[in-house]
Amino acid sequence: MTSPDASRAAAARAEARFADAEAWIAQDPDPETREELAAIVVSARGGDAGAAADLADRFDDRLAFGTAGLRGEIAAGPNRMNRVLVSQAAAGLAAYLLEHAAPGGVPSVVIGYDGRKNSDVFARDSAELMAGAGVRAVLLPRLLPTPVLAFAVRHLGVSAGVMVTASHNPPNDNGYKVYLGGEGEGSQIVSPADAEIAAHILRVAAERRVPDLPRGAFETADESVVDAYVAATAAVAGTAAVRPGPRVVYTAMHGVGWETFARVVEAAGFDLPDVVEPQIAPDPAFPTVSFPNPEEPGAMDLSFARAREVGADLVIANDPDADRLAVAIPIAGGSDAGTAAGGAAGAEASDWRRLTGNEIGLLLGWRAAEQAARATGDGGAEGTLACSIVSSPGLEAVARAYDLEFRATLTGFKWISKAPNLVYGFEEALGYLVNPETVRDKDGISAAVALLDLASRLHAEGRTLADHLDAFVERFGCHASGQISLRVTDLSRIGEIMSALRANPPAAIGGIRVERIEDLADGFGDLPPSDVLRIVLDGGSRVMVRPSGTEPKLKVYLDTVSDRGTVAERRAEAAASLAALDRGMRELVR
């Protein structure tokens, strides 16, 4: 039975939410979200428990601004993405840039947007509000991929960049990604900048109403920015493309990648790929996929159907904002039918196999190491290969073989991009940085050009990417990788599992002895503090455990290696160890 005091407190909280909602409606410039919220308030005041719970979910918390910026569902309220929240973020970022500007200087920002719902509206609001605050604001000329915005930050020499995108999130999501120029070199924000920007945003939200924020005139960049990106990205392929290359099928996954990618491909000298027509134009509804992420089962089924239709040798896909790259190869019954350098394969179609992010990352890392060696002209190599701590350790084996530096960073290209003397970086979630001198972020278009260059050169030799994966295993060993994602409804469950692993560390996992456990909570080596456990086992196996940064999931990353015997024997041994780790970790975290 609820006590009178608890009932009064609950009633007071409900009235406070109603007041917050009414204040929100009064400052919201978007009629759609105003009407949506007004209807919820009416229903909640009328005793609708579902509406009251919805209101609490929207107003009892706020989308946190962090190193990933903002990302969430488009709807009314501070715990959703909408014009009020974006306006407050723009005003807060402007205050941060003005605070950090040189005396007498005028800070500047370039703003880009993709094809998602409200991306253009959020971008224009940001440009007007930042201009009104005294920041020189430049809006990209039209909807464009995220890598073009990342490139523009350095190309235009601005203080910061904003990209309005939710990348490969569900259709009704949107987001706000921030880059810093100058000493930030066009990389995404990291601590302490994120906390400082967040503090300014909260101050704006507490002290200013959106209608009272001044708006100003912004500039619109001309096409020369896009032209410069196309030229720089086409150069990733080298001086001359190898033709004829393999027959390629491409999908933009209803995103903004195709127009820019096609221009780059032609500038690099490759033949244009066959396209998946239903997915080639931007469409915020994403009608042919339930989840616009090429990693998701079924997302590339139309690509495989098109590949069968035209007799393709290769499928490549960008995610909706084109900062990620997915690759698939045909299964011919030979070595390409099994797992390869990076581990377990996708299995959406019986005759096509989607390569894992680790497989692609290791092949592109090998390519980068070869290029670094050729650049020195004396057989040595200079530079750093980098990947996130949850990506395949196989990249370190490549670095050792070429006498390159290696750096493992926290997850996210905000960290990878900051590796000193970087020549290449990747993370297993289909992100690759192949041209750090021009784009300091993952770039699915430049990565696709690098992959096309590699595949074309192999094609000219009568070889395939599957053959090259075999060659990788033969030279560097078989580095097999797997992943467990435990989705929860109660976020506290993730903390409980992490605490249990810390309090009672396992002595063995799947029958493989644990050598040591490295807790990154207080930092480790040159890594900043992070809620990650790294479990090192006998034989070079490794398990990484961490909460997801964007979803209600606990993520477990499994890695094994074998360098004994033939290619087939190495694969079999690594796969057996991987299966044992998978069974053992599922028992620990179920």
| 132, 136, 139, 141: CA torsion to nearest 10 | 130
The answer to whether 562 is a known catalytic residue is no
List, as one string, the DSSP characters of 117-176. Answer: TTHHHHHHHHHHHHHHTT-EEEE-SS---HHHHHHHHHHTT-SEEEEE--TTS-TTEEEE
Contact 388, 428 (CB under 8 A): yes
Distances (CA, A) of 494 to 391, 502, 503, 583: 21, 13, 14, 19
In our burial notation (b when 16+ CB lie closer than 10 A, e otherwise), range 41-71 reads bebbeeeeeebbebbeebbeebbebbbbbbb
Contact 263, 229 (CB under 8 A): no
Tokens standing for residue 350: 């019986």
CA 201 to the chain's CA centroid: 24
CA 330 to the chain's CA centroid: 26
Active-site option among 108, 119, 159, 167 = 167
Q: Which of 168, 461, 449 is nearest to 322 (CA)?
A: 168
Q: Which of 410, 414, 384, 385 is nearest to 187 (CA)?
A: 414
List, as one string, the DSSP characters of 96-130. Answer: HHHHTSPTT---EEEEEE-SSTTHHHHHHHHHHHH
Rg of the chain over CA atoms, in angstroms? 25
Long-range contacts of 490-493 (CB under 8 A, 24+ apart): 491/552, 493/554
Across-strand partners of 163?
Answer: 112, 177
Tokens standing for residue 520: 């990154």
Contact 360, 452 (CB under 8 A): no
Q: Which residues are catalytic?
A: 167
